């Protein structure tokens, strides 16, 4: 339902704007309906896959591996939802753009996304993705998983859990984090609570900061982390979702503001590691040149040594005479 509020005197521009939005939503609804019309459903333990064709052998292996990774995650957290998500594999670029139309720019340039309004996961087909397909699927599953457990979970927690526990926090991302921390760029969790960065240049730092905040939350406060999930599990067993702030405060005893300050101090200390990494990198780069200089210096020293004459080799007669002398017994005293 679209509610229009028209100002007197100039109604037509707003009418046109609302009509344009209505047509856009209508086209989006039609494209989604057409996409699902000829889908085949493949059921697994923790999810269902909807595809326009039979799953390839490699895709079936990925699905089985995803089942195993999901089971590991659920065992680690201790919460096993009764429901399971639907995963839609989108074959063409045009179809994916229609699905992401009207959403945030970061969704339009993504390889997959979780639609909370539809409670479904959409992912491009394998030939469109050049990254690890399994990690991307697990990333989106974790978004669905958290939606089953929390209300009002902040965006940094969503992306931190999805990035960290899907194995997408690699060395390159960690290096980016400590470099930006060294340069003094703050990881403002409040800023990352409910909206993505508007600039594409800030997207990598957004994901890595979220993952590092989650890592800080889990590894630096292990007892509070366990209490946190025990609280969430208790609420889930009662058939209810829990407010994130409620679970967080009862487990950590901190407001989100205080936790943000702690994480900023931690990030600043981590930034000093960038100096160590940078120095080690410089040493590693200079090492071949140092070895060349050492070899050249050794060659110069060898050339500076005086040439010594070699002793003449004994003739055959002298060699036989020496051998006869060695065979004679020593004189008795």
Cβ atoms of 213 and 160 within 8 Å: the answer is yes
> What is the number of other CB atoms lying within 10 angstroms of the CB of residue 153?
22
Taking the C-alpha atoms of residue 165 and residue 139, their distance in angstroms, rounded to an integer, is 8
133 and 228 share one domain: no
Tokens found for residue 183: 């340069």
pLDDT at 57: 93
DSSP 3-state percent helix, strand, coil across the chain (nearest 5): 60, 10, 30
pTM across the whole model: 0.72
- More confident call, 34 vs 42: 42
pLDDT, tens digit, for every residue of 147-202? 999 999 999 999 999 999 999 988 777 777 777 766 667 667 777 788 888 888 88
291 and 162 share one domain: yes
Is the pLDDT assigned to residue 1 strictly greater than 50? no
pLDDT at 309: 62
Exposure of 103 in the CB half-sphere (CA atoms within 13 A): 19
Q: What is the mean pLDDT of the chain?
A: 79
Q: How many structural domains are present in the chain? A: 2
175 and 283 share one domain: yes
Binning pLDDT at 50, 70 and 90, where does residue 298 land? Answer: confident
Which structural domain range is residue 137 located in? 29-151
pLDDT at 332: 44
Is the pLDDT assigned to residue 281 strictly greater than 60? no
Residue 117's CATH number: 3.40.30.160
DSSP annotation of 120 reads E
High-pLDDT (> 70) share of the chain, %: 70
Decide which of 102, 127, 151 is a domain's last residue: 151
């Amino acid at each position: 339902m679209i509610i229009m509020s028209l100002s007197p005197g100039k109604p037509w521009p707003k009418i046109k704007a609302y009509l344009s939005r209505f047509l856009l939503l209508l086209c989006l609804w039609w494209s989604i309906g057409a996409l699902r019309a000829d889908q085949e459903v493949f059921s697994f333990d923790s999810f269902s896959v909807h595809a326009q064709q039979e799953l390839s052998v490699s895709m079936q292996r990925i699905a089985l591996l995803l089942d195993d990774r999901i089971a590991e995650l659920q065992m680690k957290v201790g919460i096993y939802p009764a429901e399971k998500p639907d995963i839609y594999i989108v074959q063409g670029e045009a179809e994916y753009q229609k699905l992401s139309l009207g959403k945030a720019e970061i969704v339009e340039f993504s390889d997959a996304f979780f639609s909370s309004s539809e409670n479904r996961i959409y992912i491009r087909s394998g030939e469109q993705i050049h990254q690890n397909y399994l990690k991307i699927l697990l990333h989106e599953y974790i978004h669905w998983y958290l939606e089953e457990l929390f209300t009002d979970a902040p965006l940094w927690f969503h992306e931190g859990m999805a990035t960290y526990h899907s194995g997408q926090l690699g060395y390159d991302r960690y290096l980016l984090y400590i470099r930006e921390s060294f340069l003094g760029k703050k990881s403002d969790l409040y800023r990352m609570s409910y909206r993505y960065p508007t600039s594409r240049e800030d997207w990598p730092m957004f994901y890595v900061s979220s993952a590092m905040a989650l890592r800080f939350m889990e590894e630096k406060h292990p007892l509070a982390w366990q209490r946190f999930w025990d609280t969430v599990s208790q609420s889930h067993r009662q058939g209810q979702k829990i407010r994130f702030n409620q679970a967080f405060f009862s487990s950590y005893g901190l407001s989100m503001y205080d936790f943000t300050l702690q994480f900023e101090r931690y990030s600043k200390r981590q930034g000093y590691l960038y100096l160590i990494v940078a120095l080690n990198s410089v040493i590693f780069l200079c090492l071949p040149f140092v070895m060349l200089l050492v070899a050249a210096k050794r060659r110069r020293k060898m050339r500076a040594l005086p040439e010594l004459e070699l002793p003449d080799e004994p003739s055959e007669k002298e060699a036989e005479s020496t051998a006869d002398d060695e065979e004679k017994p020593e004189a008795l005293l």
